[in-house]
Structure 1
């Protein structure tokens, strides 16, 4: 059973799945439902606008930013990190964007991977519902941990979680730090501040 993380909490991924090396970081969200008055409530009216959030994985070595996987650069660090592509709407259930990581292939100096999400179009998190990130063991598709973001606001980015090297294994910490930025590059500073 997956561990449900709260802001600031962390878990050892090795304890959840011994021998873990291939993981997926999934990110999901939904457009916030809008009121629409009596008929909107009666017929379940929701936002006609899609929400284009972008998941990114920022790799750090000793606090120094090394590289970023995002929709414009799908493979980094020799393919150790692979972004599965852009979702422009947030429609549907489950993961909207997925980043695959093979920890065995990461350079030894990479000691932190920061999962961020930003709104390229400048839509704010007041317009987003059900934002979450989760870690899945790719060998058996078992969800190990999930962090659901509760905060709403006028921000356009969030540092969601950090994977930290812990000897030969990795730990995950739920962060949930709000930020302002429309690209992954805009979130490098806030991500570094969370290390």
Structure 2
């Protein structure tokens, strides 16, 4: 099956492209334009699983690196004995933090796994986000991180992979020219009846992760 490339605002039916699809990997990658001697550039992937009121049903449905780690409930989906953040329904397993964005060829910087058949019926959409980690939440407590933004990041993408076969289903390359934005809603998975679709969003914000937390919690 050939992978589809989306543009901003386009929607894509996962159920039509891959009938029977259940376990998907959401892979994301980027290349930060680090300056010699500059601050550490750390991007983080998170997800907000929201209901009809555009809010998460409980704290468990805000999936991010700082969430309490509850173990791996999707058998053989990730490396053995490797704990990740996970929703209480066991459907969404969050990413493991990659602090530098220097992936090996063919690898994503960060990924999360979603079992579409297990997602709580109260959840109508899953927003996949990427934010820049800044002071005082950065590893080195470097105030210079406060000036980092997505205008200093290249080759950002999100892709959806059938975890069972390894086949890439679709990909969205972020092409917008950003200035001071430090948080991006890359895309969203959403229900259409009994099916799931994906929308390439590319919606940027300032205020890093806290702005998204304020929106959806």
TM, length-normalised to structure 1: 0.85
In the alignment, structure 1 residue 137 sits paired with structure 2 residue 148: no
Confirm or deny: 8 A CA contact 1:77 1:106 kept in the other structure.
no
In the alignment, structure 1 residue 107 sits paired with structure 2 residue 120: yes
- Give unpaired runs (5+ residues) of structure 2: 68-84, 135-145
In the alignment, structure 1 residue 51 sits paired with structure 2 residue 51: no
In the alignment, structure 1 residue 83 sits paired with structure 2 residue 84: no
Any idea what SS the aligned residue of 1:57 has?
strand
Closer/same/farther in 2, CA of residues 87 and 113 from structure 1, 3 Å limit: same
Confirm or deny: 8 A CA contact 1:65 1:188 kept in the other structure.
no
Provide the aligned C-alpha RMSD in A. Answer: 2.0
CA distance in 1, matches of 2:130, 2:124: 20
- Give unpaired runs (5+ residues) of structure 1: 35-45
Confirm or deny: 8 A CA contact 1:50 1:91 kept in the other structure.
no
Q: Which residue of 2 aligns with 1:165?
A: 191
Confirm or deny: 8 A CA contact 1:77 1:107 kept in the other structure.
no
1:32 Cα offset (Å): 2.4
Confirm or deny: 8 A CA contact 1:119 1:181 kept in the other structure.
no
Q: Which structure's residues are more often strand, by fraction?
A: 1
